[in-house]
Amino acid sequence: MAVLVGKKAPSFSTDAVVNGGEFVENFSLEQYKGKNVVLFFYPLDFTFVCPTELHAFQAKLAEFQSKNTEVVGCSIDSKFSHWAWLNTPKNQGGIQGVTYPLVADLSKTIAENYDVLAGEYDVDEEGNAAFSGAPVAYRGLFLIDKEGVVRHQVINDLPLGRSVDEALRMVDALNYFEANGEVCPANWKEGEDAMKANAEGVASYLANH
């Protein structure tokens, strides 16, 4: 599994569905320069754990946006599958009401570039390509800063849903560090004390907590 933290986020330009049902071509993250982006991958449309995550991100979308952060989802489904799921009511297993962009990674190249594809292509002795493993994305999440650099990543296995609150906490920590130059200790939450990134600052923090 590649560690992308500290590196430029892999770029892409592909189909997406935005605003709950509008098709767009050549969707990329370049449009969000100057904002943070939470890019999260999920395995498949029309599954069981996935809609709980997508609705959870939607429930917190206004909070993310108030922190200068956009949310973008991505799976290996087509834009038509995304559109159909977005038009399926929540009580029928759908994600109607989700308004942030859903990226179509039908070629699986975005998942490969972010190294979250739960399998890989193999070539046999005769030159035939075959896929081994699950041809879907793990539950990867990447916090990308205003300059397009990955600052945080977490990868969950397929059965394990994510914590949207933890994603928000990481946004808060990044914003606080960039605004104040202080680092955020374990379990830090917005409104709590941070500390200076030196021995004196650490000692002072620990002495008071």
Q: Edge-to-edge strands of the sheet including 139-144?
A: 22-27, 14-18, 102-104, 69-75, 36-41, 139-144, 150-156
Largest CA distance in the chain: 67
50 catalytically annotated: yes
* Angle, in degrees to the nearest 10, between helices 164-180 and 49-59: 40
- Global pTM? 0.89
Give me the pLDDT at residue 1, please: 63
- Name the CATH superfamily, with its identifier, for domain 14-162: Glutaredoxin (3.40.30.10)
Give me the pLDDT at residue 77, please: 97
Report pLDDT digits (tens) over 1-12.
Answer: 689 999 999 999
Give me the pLDDT at residue 79, please: 97
Structural domain boundaries in the chain: 14-162, 163-209
Rounded to whole angstroms, the Cα distance separating 136 from 112 reads 10
Give me the pLDDT at residue 12, please: 97
Give me the pLDDT at residue 197, please: 66
Rounded to whole angstroms, the Cα distance separating 184 from 205 reads 11
Instruction: Please state the three-class secondary structure of the chain as a single string.
Output: CCCCCCCECCCCCEEEEECCCEEEEEECHHHHCCCEEEEEECCCCCCCHHHHHHHHHHHCHHHHHHCCEEEEEEECCCHHHHHHHHCCCHHHCCCCCCCCCEEECCCCHHHHHCCCEEEEEEECCCCCEEEEEEEEECEEEEEECCCCEEEEEEEECCCCCCCHHHHHHHHHHHHHHHHHCCECCCCCCCCCCCECCCHHHHHHHHHCC
Listed as ranges, residues in the chain with pLDDT below 50 are: 198-207, 209
Give me the pLDDT at residue 131, please: 78
Residue the block writes with tokens 């799976």? 75
Catalytic residue among 50, 103, 171, 195: 50
Give me the pLDDT at residue 203, please: 38
Residue the block writes with tokens 């929540």? 90
Give me the pLDDT at residue 90, please: 93
∠ Cα 179 183 184 (to 5°): 105
